[in-house]
Amino acid sequence: MHHPYQRNNVMTLPQTPSFHLAGKRALITGASSGIGRACAVALAEYGAAVTLAARRADQLEETAAHLRGLGQTADVLVLDVGDVEATKDAVARHGPFDILINSAGTARHSKAIDTTSEDFDAVMNVNLRGAYFLSQAVAKGLIAAGRPGSLINISSQMGHVGGTDRAVYCASKFAVEGFTKAMAIELGPHNIRINTICPTFILTELTQPTFEDPGKRAWVLDKIKLGRVGKVEDIMGAAVYLASDAAALVTGTAVMIDGGWTAD
């Protein structure tokens, strides 16, 4: 029996699959700031034609202009993933997209016993309902076109553990982890992969209030084994990896970028 890396008794070495995304179209939601914008920058740098989507057109245009100035391809799509029908229509009109990064998300933190139905619905509408039907819409487009793809939902370490004041947020992210696994099973035969990225606390506009509270900041730093909060750059490599052929056998799983938070 021949060794898999030997031909005619001459050794051939395995080749690292490409991380490059040339020829791929990527839709990035939540791209007006924070993690979403960072992921858009990363995918564009690796050759993808990116479509930046969010509710705030001015910030999208500014980012797109910067990317174009670097010789990269960037379009803008004003989109609210909480509006499921509008999202389905937009994806059908502008797709198919080979890559999805869904970074649209919201949070309303409070003690569980103080949760209002309004806050519950607001978080679930974006984090769960929006993410579910956005994933569905991009997958439908790929299946209709007979194309493979990579769908990535920005979840959270809070999709794997609990946290004070975060019952609703945790519920939404645990649910994202669940539908990601189920969709991976169904989409696998179409060579469409779906995964999550699960960051710890990343310093963004959304998390700024947490870091301004000394008690909460101390709690965060105590739980993160690497001893620092996250920055958006910590997410960029994972986004490129999951989007690329380097992750060709990765589906239905979560990439933890949590500084060791969930290790104990």
Per-residue pLDDT tens over the stretch 161-191? 999 999 999 999 999 999 999 999 999 999 9
Measure Cα distances from 263 to 43, 234, 258 in Å.
29, 18, 9
pLDDT value for 231: 95
Are 92 and 137 within 8 A, CB to CB?
yes
pLDDT tens-digit series, residues 211-223: 888 988 899 999 9
Q: According to the model, what pLDDT value does residue 55 have?
A: 93
pTM > 0.75: yes
Q: Is the dihedral of CA 139, 142, 148, 150 positive or negative?
A: negative
pLDDT of res. 210: 79
Determine which one of 5, 46, 132, 169 is catalytic: 169
What integer pLDDT is reported at residue 21 of this predicted model? Answer: 98
Helices (H), the chain: 34-45, 57-69, 84-94, 117-124, 131-145, 167-187, 208-212, 214-223, 233-243
Strands 99-102, 254-257: pairing is: unpaired
With 0-12 / 13-18 / 19 or more C-beta atoms within 10 angstroms meaning exposed / middle / buried, residue 212 is exposed
Told to judge if 169 belongs to the known catalytic residues of this protein, a careful annotator would answer yes
Distance CA 237, CA 31 (A): 16
DSSP structural state of residue 261: G
What is d(CA 257, CA 230) in angstroms, rounded to the nearest whole number?
9
* pLDDT at position 10: 83
Q: To which residue do tokens 């370490």 refer? A: 157
Superfamily of domain 20-202+231-263: NAD(P)-binding Rossmann-like Domain (3.40.50.720)
Between CA 206 and CA 7 the distance in angstroms is 55
Domain residue ranges in the chain: 20-202+231-263
Instruction: Give me Rg for the CA atoms of the chain.
Output: 19
CA separation (Å) from 83 to 32, 55, 58, 144, 233? 17, 11, 20, 23, 29
pLDDT score of 4: 64
- pLDDT digits (tens), the chain, 264 positions: 556 666 677 889 999 999 999 999 999 999 999 999 999 999 999 999 999 999 989 999 999 999 999 999 999 999 999 999 999 999 999 999 999 999 999 999 999 999 999 999 999 999 999 999 999 999 999 999 999 999 999 999 999 999 999 999 999 999 999 999 999 999 999 999 999 999 999 988 777 787 888 988 899 999 999 999 999 999 999 999 999 999 999 999 999 999 999 998
